[in-house]
Every structure is written in structure tokens, then in C-alpha cells.
Amino acid sequence: MSDIYLLHNQIKHYEWGSYNFIPEFLGMENAERMPYAELWMGTHSGAPSQADVDGKLTDLKEISGELPFLFKLLAVDKPLSIQAHPNKEQAEKGFLKEEKNELSLKNPKRNYKDNNHKPEIICAITPLTLMAGFKEPEAIQRSLEELLTISPQLKEIGTVLNNALKTKSLKGFFDILYNISGFEREYFSSLFLDKELDKKNSVITPLEWALMKQFASAYPGDPAVISPLFLNTITLQSGRAVFIPAGILHAYLSGFGVELMTSSDNVLRGGLTPKHVDINELSNILNFTPFMPEVISPSSSEMFYYNTQEKEFSLYFINGDGRPKTYTKNGHSICLVMEGEIQTCGRSFKKGQSFYIHQKADENPVIFEGKFSLYAVSGSVMM
């Protein structure tokens, strides 16, 4: 029989987190009204899970080894910073450089917390809104031109930005935007606070304008307040997901979801945050090719695989209708029960609980029974 263990997971109380999503999902009160932002499931040193072994809590890593993935609940009440993650080569070089410079892992100016890449998939539990990937230069240009009609005072900087876009240079546009003067930054912010959008025949959508108004209010003087004009805005409905490769600029704005990534905490920020922003290093790792993430929609209500082409992790949604279901993913898995109650390997797990399975190729497959829904993550252990 496969080894199976109930997990006890750590929660991150970042200020952008929701007061309700995670506590309600776990069936607990939030009497202190703390923001619950993320729940981590895995072996990453930033918040490793513990496994219940015969009533005693043990670090999951001692049972599983170093898992290649990090699985999270993500609850967003306020927009996260605009950010991107490095590829494997960039992470290794950046981590080595900061280690040689003896920059502490706790230093707020540290960019690379480990030497791993961080592609990720986000799947909505509730409607979840995000920005991800540069728009086509022509689309950005049209939005900027409309902005100039709303505020002719922006003509000088708007012309410079548009000239970069005319040459198809998203990097040139990005570099110019992040080097505008303090006066121009402040004016961008005041524009959205002082004016309203004429919604008739507008290129800029009401959602984009509302986001820019929100950003300008929270982060006045940040050039990233106009990010909805150059990044794609997407709202995922429940069960739908997008995959964010390394190097893609993105920000999660609101909603509740599950997030799966390689086991890494490398984040390079580009604004909309009080935290450290290193635009030069961010620019070095960004992919400046226009990119619209594909929305992955489940094609089956019983079991669906969210195909990301990633070798280090796989995400599945499984819906139990009372009939036994065979789970045949050899290796290491973490399952999170979303609804109902599941029976497997002589154990029962209910909504909000997560468990770890180590299934070997020569063992009988694991059988899931009961009426439930869950997300299952699988991957091979890191050597």
C-alpha cells in the first residue's frame, strides 16, 4: 500500500491577502482580522509542510525528500506587485552572484532566494483577475494615443513612448517608461484620479481605467500605474487556469485560486509595491515578446489534466461521484480536498485538508472513493 500522510501547512500573512477566502475554506475563524495571503504545501525552506506520522508531526522533507514543486492556495484582496521570475540559467547566475556578494537571504534587496526557475500555473477557485504578458505594440500604441486625447499635456512623453512602439521595441518602451521624470510620474497618477473615461468607442476598457485609478491611488508616482495599457488583463472563471512561463511580466489582482510552481521563491518586481524594485535586473530577465496566456478550460468534469509542458510538476482536477477512481501517478503527490470527503488507503480527508502520497511503480494504484473534488499535484523527487 502507498504511504499517505495528512499535511499541516504554513500560512503567509502578506498585507495583500484576503481576510476571508482561506479561513472560510479551512473552516476556521479569523477573529484577529489578519490577511491570509498564501498557504504553502511542499518542502520549500520558506514554509515547509509537516506530515502527521502516527500522531507526530515531522517535516515532510524527511519523508519525501526535496520536492520539485510548490503548491499554494492564493487569496488576493489587493493587487500583488508587478513581477516576473527567472529561467533556470538566470536563477543560477543571479543566486551565485548574490551569494558571492554575501547578501543575506533576509536582505530586502535580495533578488534571488534560490537557484531555481519559477514557471507557474494559476487556477481560479473564484473569479480571479490578473495581468500577464505584453500586448502587441500596436495595441499599446492605440491606448497611448487615446490617453493623449484625454490629456494633451502628456504629448511629449507619449510621443517618445509611441516612437519606441513604432519600431516594435517593447524593451525600448519599457526602459523609457521606467526612466521618466518624477514630474511625469506624478502627472500620470494625477491624470487617473482627476479624470474619467468616456466609455463610448473607447480603446481603453472600463476595467483597465478602473485598475489604473486604483493603482494611482495606492502607488502615486509609480510608472507601473499604466500597466493595464501594456499588459493583458484576464479574468478567469472557476476551474480555468493560465500558465505563466519564466520571464513573463504579470500581477495577480483579485480572487482566490490554487497556484503551482517549481520549488522557488525568486521574484523580481517591477512596481506597485513598497518592496524592493530592481528594474535593471528585472529588464535582464524579461521576455519582451508579446505574449497572451492561453486560458486552459477543463474538458472533463471527472478528471482533467492542466497541460503546461512542464517536466517538474503536473496539476489535475478530480471530481468523485461516489464511484471508485484510480489514481495512477507514480512518484510524489500532494492532494488538496476542495469539497466533500474522500476515502483512500484506509484514511478519510475532508474539505480544506491536504495529504501527501508516495506511490511506487510496483505498488497497486491508489483508489479514491467518496463524493469529493480535489486538486492533485504530482512530480518526481529532486536528487
pLDDT classification of 380: cutoffs 50, 70, 90: low
pLDDT digits (tens, 9 = 90+) for 137-163: 999 999 999 988 888 888 888 889 988
Same domain, 249 and 149: no
In a 3-state reduction of DSSP, which class is residue 348?
A: strand
What's the Cα-to-Cα distance from 265 to each of 45, 111, 261, rounded to whole Å? 10, 9, 9
Residue 215 has pLDDT above 70, yes or no: yes
Same domain, 82 and 190: no
282: left (phi over 0), alpha (psi -120 to 50) or beta: alpha
Residue 97 has pLDDT above 70, yes or no: yes
Residue 280 lies in a domain: no
Q: What is the pTM of this model?
A: 0.93
The total of structural domains in the chain comes to 3
Same domain, 93 and 240: yes
Residue 248 lies in a domain: yes
Same domain, 143 and 163: yes
pLDDT digits (tens, 9 = 90+) for 116-131: 999 999 999 999 999 9
pLDDT at site 381: 45
Same domain, 258 and 115: yes
Q: How would you class 61 by CB atoms within 10 Å of its CB: exposed for 0-12, middle for 13-18, buried for 19 or more?
A: middle
What is the pairing mode between strands 120-124 and 128-134?
A: unpaired
In a 3-state reduction of DSSP, which class is residue 14?
A: coil
| Range(s) of the domain holding residue 178 | 136-227
Contact 128, 224 (CB under 8 A): no
Residue 286 lies in a domain: no
Residue 359 lies in a domain: yes
Residue 291 lies in a domain: no
Domain boundary among 165, 195, 227: 227
Same domain, 197 and 320: no
Same domain, 222 and 245: no
- The mean of the pLDDT values for the chain is 92
Same domain, 316 and 364: yes
| Gap between the Cα atoms of 80 and 329, Å rounded | 33
Handedness of CA 252, 207, 239, 291 (dihedral sign): negative
Cα angle, residue 316 at apex, residues 314 and 319 outer, rounded to 5°: 170
Same domain, 100 and 159: no
347 catalytically annotated: no
33, 110, 240, 269: the active-site residue: 269
Residue 7 has pLDDT above 50, yes or no: yes
pLDDT at site 382: 39
CATH value at residue 346: 2.60.120.10
Same domain, 243 and 158: no
Residue 339 lies in a domain: yes
Same domain, 362 and 260: no
Residue 199 has pLDDT above 50, yes or no: yes
For residues 99-121, one letter each, b for 16 or more C-beta atoms within 10 angstroms of the residue's C-beta and e for the rest, the string is: eeeeeeeeeeebbbbbbbbbbbb
What is the pairing mode between strands 128-134 and 250-262?
A: antiparallel
Residue count (the chain): 383
For residue 177, give every residue at least 6 positions away whose Cβ sits within 8 Å of its Cβ, in sequence order, or none: 161, 223, 226
pLDDT at site 329: 80
Same domain, 43 and 20: yes
The packing angle between helices 155-166 and 137-150, to 10°, is: 170
pLDDT digits (tens, 9 = 90+) for 289-322: 999 999 999 987 788 999 988 888 999 999 999 9
Residue 50 has pLDDT above 80, yes or no: yes
Which cell numbers hold the place of 45?
525552506
Portion of the chain with pLDDT greater than 70, in percent: 98
Residue 352 has pLDDT above 50, yes or no: yes
Residue 204 has pLDDT above 50, yes or no: yes
Closest by CA position to 259, among listed 238, 248, 243, 275: 243
Residue 295 lies in a domain: no
